[in-house]
Amino acid sequence: MQPPPPPLPLSADGYPAPGGVTRRPVGDGESVRANRRWWDAAAPAYLAEHGEDLGDVDFLWCPEGLREGEAHLLGDVAGRRVLEVGCGSAPCSRWLRRAGADVVALDLSAGMLARAAVLNRASGIAVPLVQADVLALPLASASVDLACSAFGGLPFVADVRGALAEVARVLRPGGRFVASVNHPMRWPFPDSPDPDDLQVTSSYFDRTPYVETDDDGRAVYVEHHRTVGDWVRAAVGAGFALDDLLEPEWTPGRAQEWGQWSPARGALVPGTLILVCRRP
């Protein structure tokens, strides 16, 4: 057995400091290894930056400020078994549990799940936490009523159709799956909240993944791009019926900036795509 890789070096802001940035093809195994390692290292900094906005028991769908308590995209969750994919520190799962759902919270990152365990104890709302890859869900077929992923793991998965097929497999017939992801329109623009930076710098149609590497050229962070059409075809190809596509507008009065998301930029272009799917 090979020893685990050393911890990633951190920059002054607490996030992993890449040795380089490139665009190149990346497969499933490399994506999983890189992103598990990156999120394990980044969890403290990410939650220090965004934890207050995410809350401990809350369901935020996206940086625009859309919350499930207002949107009701999952419908009535009381008494339903719900799977959350890419739960992070699991505030959405605890919100669902408080609303009466039987929840399973799943994430690739042990670092994120460690924080979720702390918040389970602090909030008094314990949800089961599972470390697993969405491409191999450790759940029986047709065993959950609903599934959700609020800016969870899907943009980091190479085989997104395979991931969606796994979610469809564990859903009962008629079950709903709702997922929010980076809006594909964000890909061609610089990663900046400033609306003055809304100048196309790459092709919307270039699906080559964004990759951060260590000093030896190994991937330590991978993000995959799909067009809107790619997302639709992936969902339908995985066996889902697509009931709706949402592009949330910026919540009036919300001042929170989140990476390239900001009130000024959110007034001009969409930042989030939400897929509302159903297993027939």
- 196 belongs to a structural domain: yes
- 94 belongs to a structural domain: yes
- Strand pairing category for 171-182 and 272-278: antiparallel
Percent of the chain with pLDDT over 90: 96
- 11 belongs to a structural domain: no
Residue 262: which pLDDT band, with cuts at 50, 70 and 90?
A: very high
- 2 belongs to a structural domain: no
Tally of domains in the chain:
1
CATH number at residue 61: 3.40.50.150
**Cα torsion at 251, 255, 258, 260 (round to 10°)?**
80
Range of the domain at 76: 20-278
pLDDT by residue (tens digit) across 181-213?
A: 999 999 999 999 999 999 999 999 999 999 999
Contact 276, 178 (CB under 8 A): yes
Considering only CA atoms, give the Rg of the chain. Answer: 18
Tell me the C-alpha distance between 33 and 84, whole Å: 21
pLDDT over 70 at 245, yes or no = yes
- 1 belongs to a structural domain: no
Percent of the chain with pLDDT over 70: 99
- 6 belongs to a structural domain: no
- 155 belongs to a structural domain: yes
- 165 belongs to a structural domain: yes
